[in-house]
Chain A
C-alpha cells in the first residue's frame, strides 16, 4: 500500500467541478461499477488516497483513508485476531474501504452482527461544495449532531466523498464450523433458521439453496460444540467453511454464474417462499434472497413490496433499467432535498442511485 493523503487535490477537483457544473464519477478501483445506475462524468479517483491512520486494537477501532484496499485493512485486523464483523463482500480483489462503506455492503454475518452502517463510527467528508468536514469520531458512543457518517453508508457517493472512515471492529471468533442439512423445503429451511435465531446460539451465517441448508457457528469452542449437537446436520471441515461463505459473499458460487438478471430481495425474514419463477438462494435467516429470474421488474418489485421490503436489480440488467426500488413520493422529496443539502449543484455521482438524485 502506498500511504498518501490526496485530500487537498480531491477538494480542489470538487471545487472546480462545482464552479463549472461538471458532474463527477466518484470511483476507487471500480469493483462496484456494476452496482447501481451508470453515472456519467469526469472521474474523481479516490484509489490513491490510501493509508491506515489509526488502529487501536484495544479500542476496537480502525481509521483509514477511503482508497485503502479492503484486503489491507482485513490483513492488519487479522494480525491482531480481529475482524470486520459485517464481513464485506469484495466483488473484486482491489475493493476499497470507501467503496465498501459507500455501498453499505455486508456479508453472511450481517443478520447476527450488523451491517456495514452499524459499524461506521465516523467519517471525514468532502461534500459537493468542496467543504471538508468531520462527523462522528472514533468512539462507540457519540450522539452530538445528526448521524451524518451512517447516512453516507449506502448513499453511493451521491451526498459526499468520504475521505476517511472509522469503523468498529471485533475479535475474531475462536472457532467456526459449518453444518449442512440435506433436503428441507424452502419453508422448512426458513422455519429452522428462525427457530435457531430465537435461542442464544452462536449462529453466524445461514444460507439455503437447492434443498441444502447451510449454517455456520462461530464462538468459543464449547459454545460451538453444544450448538452443533443441538442443531445437528453434517459437519464440514475448516476449508469448506472458509471457501463456501466466501463464495456466497463474493458471488463466486455457481448460483451466481447465470446470465439471467440477478435480483436482491430484502424482505421480512419469515416471508413464505415467494411465487416468482427463477432460481433462489436465501441468506441472512431469510431476510436477503437472491433471485435469478427473467420475470418482469414490476412483478418482482410488487412481490418484494408485499413482503415488506424492496428489490434491487443487482446484475445482468438491461441498459436503462431502474435498478433500485422506487421510493414513495414523500420519501423521494426528502431524498432530493437532502441531496441538495450536501451537493447543491448535483455534481456528485448524479443518477447513480436514482435518476432524480
Chain B
C-alpha cells in the first residue's frame, strides 16, 4: 500500500519538550542507544503495515531491564507517551510511533537465557526471534509451537503483545496457550513477574490479560515459553474440490471423525493460480478450492489418521486426493501455501491482507458476499483460509497509483470485517487491532464493552501513556465512525451522544 495518514487526531498528546526529554533520557542510556536524528528515526516510521507512517519523536534502544525501567519512569514523570516495538513485523500498525512520543525498541534484548529440556521451557528476552527459539530447542527434540508466517523475523515479545497464531493453532493453540511466565515493566517503572514456574499462578490470570494487549498495559522484558516434543512424523494431504462449499464441508467431516489435524488450510481459485504461477507446487489449476491437511504425532497415529482422512476427503467429494510421498513433496505442497501472499502480490501492484475469523459453517455465505462486494468495488479478492479455526485472510488486489483505489480497498476491507462480525466472528483472528482495525472495533464492541476495556487499561496505565490511541477506540471515535458508516439506515450506537 502507499502512504496514507491514519486518523488519530483525538489521541495525539499535546506537544512534548523534545530537548528537555532528550536531556532527561541521555544519562539513562549508552551514547548510541538514543536516536534523535531524522535519518536514524526513519526506519521506525512504520511497522509491517507500511500504509501508515509517522516519525517518532525519538527512539530509545535499551539493552538492560534497568534501563527500560528508568526510561519508563522518566516518561511517566514527564507525561510522555511510549510505544514499544519488537521487530516491527506486525500487520495492524500496533507499533506505529507517535510524533510526540518515545519509540521504545526492544531489539537489543535478543538473548536466549535458558532452555530447560527437562521442564520443556525456554526463558528468553523479548527481542528473540520466534524461529530462533525452535532452532535452539531442536537439539533436545523440542520446539515452540506457534508459527506466525513472519516467524523468521518476528520477535517473541511482539508475539505475546499480539497473541500471534500461525497455521497450527487448531491443535497447538495461540501464544496465550504456549507461554508460562512474563516479566513486565509497568509505565511507572515497576518490574512485575506474571505467571510462574508452575502451570498456574495465584490471583487473576494476568498472563491471559497481557497476551494480546498490544503494548497497552505494560512492556514485556522477559518471556518463558513452553516447548513441545517434536512429533515423530508429519504428513500432508492435498485435496482438490470443484466447489468451495464441498471443501468447507470436508473440514467439518474430518473434525467430526475425531481427528484434529496439525494444520488445515484452504485456498481459493485465484490464490491457487497465483501460488502455482509463482512456485510451481503442482497445484491442480482447474480446482475451485484446495485443502492442505497436515497430520502429525507418533508414527502409528499418523498412519491411522492419514488413511481415515483420505477416505473422508473422497467421500466429501474431492476430485483428487494426493498424499505427499516424502518430506520433499510435503515441503512442496506447503511451499505454495506459504508463498500465497507474495504470489498474489505478483498479480497486482498492491494487495491488502485482511484477517477476520468466522464460524466455519458460515463460510459459503461469507465467500458469496465477498464475491459480490468484489464486483461492487471492482477489486479482485483472493482467499487463503486457516480452515481449521475459521481464520480468513482475504487479499484485496489494487493499484495505489490509481486515483481512489486505496480508499475503495480500505472500505471494502472494512466491510469484510463487519461481515465477519455479523456472522458471529471477529474482526481479527491473529493480526491484532492496532491502528488498522480501530474503527471496526466500534462494530465488534458496544460502548459498555469499550468502556470496560478503557477501565482495564486505566488499572495498569492510569495516565494512558502506553501506546495510546491503539487497539481500543474512544467512544468519540466510534460516534464519528458510526456517523460515516450508516448501514441499512441503522446507526451502530443509537444510544450514544453525538459530538
Residues of A within 8 A of B (CB): 56-61, 81, 104, 110-111, 114-115, 117-118, 127, 131-135, 137-148, 150-151, 153-155, 159, 170-172, 174, 194, 197-202, 219-223, 225-227, 266-270, 284, 287-288, 307-310, 312, 324-328, 330-332, 334-335, 337-338, 340-342, 353-354
Interface residues of B in 136-164 (CB under 8 A from A): 140-142, 162-163
Also in contact, A342 and B455, with CB within 8 A (given A140-B389, A198-B120, A268-B197): yes
User: Would you call B255 an interface residue if the criterion is a C-beta within 8 Å of the partner chain's C-beta atoms?
Assistant: yes
Known: A145-B445, A341-B456. 8 other contacts (CB 8 A): A118-B176, A133-B448, A139-B358, A198-B120, A200-B297, A219-B297, A337-B458, A354-B203
Q: Is the CB of B163 within 8 A of A143?
A: yes
User: Would you call B394 an interface residue if the criterion is a C-beta within 8 Å of the partner chain's C-beta atoms?
Assistant: no
Q: Is the CB of B206 within 8 A of A331?
A: yes
**CB-defined contacts of A147 to chain B, threshold 8 Å:** 163, 176, 208-209, 211-213
User: Would you call B205 an interface residue if the criterion is a C-beta within 8 Å of the partner chain's C-beta atoms?
Assistant: yes
Q: Is the CB of A155 within 8 A of B360?
A: no
Cα distance, A155 to B257, chains bound together (Å)? 35
Q: Which of A115, A146, A269, A312 contacts B456 (CB 8 A)?
A: A146
Cα distance, A253 to B257, chains bound together (Å)? 34
Q: Is the CB of A226 within 8 A of B429?
A: no
Looking at B98-106, B228-236, B281-289, the stretch in contact with chain A turns out to be B228-236
Q: Is the CB of B357 within 8 A of A202?
A: no
Cα distance, A242 to B269, chains bound together (Å)? 48
Q: Which of B186, B231, B360 contacts A58 (CB 8 A)?
A: B360
A-B contact pairs, 10 of them (CB 8 A): A110-B199, A133-B449, A139-B359, A143-B429, A143-B431, A144-B427, A150-B205, A153-B208, A194-B119, A202-B301
Minimum C-beta distance from A193 to chain B (A):
10
**CB-defined contacts of B427 to chain A, threshold 8 Å:** 144
Minimum C-beta distance from A58 to chain B (A):
4
Cα distance, A340 to B102, chains bound together (Å)? 30
Q: Which of A117, A131, A284, A307 contacts B208 (CB 8 A)?
A: A117
What 6 pairs between A and B have smallest CB-CB spacing?
A308-B197, A171-B258, A222-B300, A150-B208, A58-B252, A337-B459
Q: Which of A114, A221, A226, A267 contacts B197 (CB 8 A)?
A: A267
Q: Is the CB of B298 within 8 A of A141?
A: no
User: Would you call B72 an interface residue if the criterion is a C-beta within 8 Å of the partner chain's C-beta atoms?
Assistant: no
Also in contact, A140 and B170, with CB within 8 A (given A127-B452, A199-B229): yes
Also in contact, A222 and B301, with CB within 8 A (given A139-B389, A144-B426): yes
Minimum C-beta distance from A53 to chain B (A):
12
Cα distance, A132 to B140, chains bound together (Å)? 48
User: Would you call B304 an interface residue if the criterion is a C-beta within 8 Å of the partner chain's C-beta atoms?
Assistant: yes
Q: Is the CB of B426 within 8 A of A341?
A: no
Q: Is the CB of A307 within 8 A of B258?
A: no
Q: Which of A141, A144, A202 contacts B444 (CB 8 A)?
A: A144
Also in contact, A223 and B300, with CB within 8 A (given A145-B444, A309-B198): yes
Interface residues of B in 354-394 (CB under 8 A from A): 357-361, 386, 388-391
Q: Is the CB of A268 within 8 A of B119?
A: yes
Cα distance, A331 to B441, chains bound together (Å)? 29
Q: Which of A139, A170, A174, A341 contacts B452 (CB 8 A)?
A: A341
User: Would you call B487 an interface residue if the criterion is a C-beta within 8 Å of the partner chain's C-beta atoms?
Assistant: no
Q: Is the CB of B196 within 8 A of A197?
A: no
User: Would you call B193 an interface residue if the criterion is a C-beta within 8 Å of the partner chain's C-beta atoms?
Assistant: yes
Q: Which of A141, A197, A328 contacts B390 (CB 8 A)?
A: A141
Contact with A along B427-462 (1 / 0, CB 8 A): 111111100010001001110110011011011100
**CB-defined contacts of A327 to chain B, threshold 8 Å:** 202-203
Closest residue to A172 on the B side, CB-wise?
A: B258
User: Would you call B118 an interface residue if the criterion is a C-beta within 8 Å of the partner chain's C-beta atoms?
Assistant: yes
Minimum C-beta distance from A199 to chain B (A):
5
Q: Is the CB of A222 within 8 A of B304?
A: yes
**CB-defined contacts of B251 to chain A, threshold 8 Å:** 58
Count of chain B residues with a beta carbon within 8 Å of a chain A beta carbon: 97
Q: Is the CB of A151 within 8 A of B209?
A: yes
Minimum C-beta distance from A233 to chain B (A):
18
User: Would you call B192 an interface residue if the criterion is a C-beta within 8 Å of the partner chain's C-beta atoms?
Assistant: yes
Q: Which of A201, A288, A324, A342 contacts B298 (CB 8 A)?
A: A201
User: Would you call B201 an interface residue if the criterion is a C-beta within 8 Å of the partner chain's C-beta atoms?
Assistant: yes
Also in contact, A131 and B301, with CB within 8 A (given A200-B230, A266-B199, A324-B203): no
User: Would you call B292 an interface residue if the criterion is a C-beta within 8 Å of the partner chain's C-beta atoms?
Assistant: no
Q: Is the CB of A151 within 8 A of B389?
A: no
User: Would you call B129 an interface residue if the criterion is a C-beta within 8 Å of the partner chain's C-beta atoms?
Assistant: no
Q: Which of A135, A201, A307, A331 contacts B203 (CB 8 A)?
A: A331
Q: Is the CB of B298 within 8 A of A202?
A: yes
Also in contact, A198 and B117, with CB within 8 A (given A140-B389, A334-B192): yes
Q: Is the CB of B209 within 8 A of A146?
A: yes
User: Would you call B50 an interface residue if the criterion is a C-beta within 8 Å of the partner chain's C-beta atoms?
Assistant: no
Q: Which of B120, B205, B255 contacts A197 (CB 8 A)?
A: B120
Also in contact, A141 and B433, with CB within 8 A (given A220-B301, A330-B186, A330-B192): no
Closest residue to A137 on the B side, CB-wise?
A: B426
Cα distance, A297 to B294, chains bound together (Å)? 50
Q: Which of B118, B200, B232, B297 contacts A194 (CB 8 A)?
A: B118
**CB-defined contacts of B304 to chain A, threshold 8 Å:** 220-223
Q: Is the CB of B197 within 8 A of A198?
A: no
Minimum C-beta distance from A191 to chain B (A):
9
Also in contact, A310 and B198, with CB within 8 A (given A138-B424, A146-B456): yes
Closest residue to A196 on the B side, CB-wise?
A: B229
**CB-defined contacts of B252 to chain A, threshold 8 Å:** 58-59
Also in contact, A334 and B206, with CB within 8 A (given A141-B357, A147-B211, A309-B198): yes
**CB-defined contacts of B177 to chain A, threshold 8 Å:** 114, 118
Minimum C-beta distance from B99 to chain A (A):
26
**CB-defined contacts of A133 to chain B, threshold 8 Å:** 446, 448-449, 452
Cα distance, A139 to B420, chains bound together (Å)? 11
Q: Which of A110, A219, A332, A342 contacts B301 (CB 8 A)?
A: A219
Cα distance, A342 to B451, chains bound together (Å)? 10
Cα distance, A334 to B201, chains bound together (Å)? 15
Q: Is the CB of A328 within 8 A of B298?
A: no
Q: Which of B120, B192, B303, B449 contacts A328 (CB 8 A)?
A: B192
Minimum C-beta distance from A232 to chain B (A):
17
Closest residue to B212 on the A side, CB-wise?
A: A143
Closest residue to B417 on the A side, CB-wise?
A: A144
**CB-defined contacts of A144 to chain B, threshold 8 Å:** 426-428, 433, 437, 441, 444-445
User: Would you call B14 an interface residue if the criterion is a C-beta within 8 Å of the partner chain's C-beta atoms?
Assistant: no
Minimum C-beta distance from B402 to chain A (A):
31
Closest residue to B181 on the A side, CB-wise?
A: A308
**CB-defined contacts of A223 to chain B, threshold 8 Å:** 297-298, 300-301, 304
User: Would you call B122 an interface residue if the criterion is a C-beta within 8 Å of the partner chain's C-beta atoms?
Assistant: no
Q: Is the CB of B202 within 8 A of A142?
A: no
Most chain B CB within 10 A, of A60, A134, A153, is at A60
Minimum C-beta distance from B289 to chain A (A):
17
Q: Which of A111, A326, A328, A334 contacts B459 (CB 8 A)?
A: A334
Q: Which of B117, B176, B198, B303 contacts A287 (CB 8 A)?
A: B198
User: Would you call B75 an interface residue if the criterion is a C-beta within 8 Å of the partner chain's C-beta atoms?
Assistant: no
**CB-defined contacts of A134 to chain B, threshold 8 Å:** 449
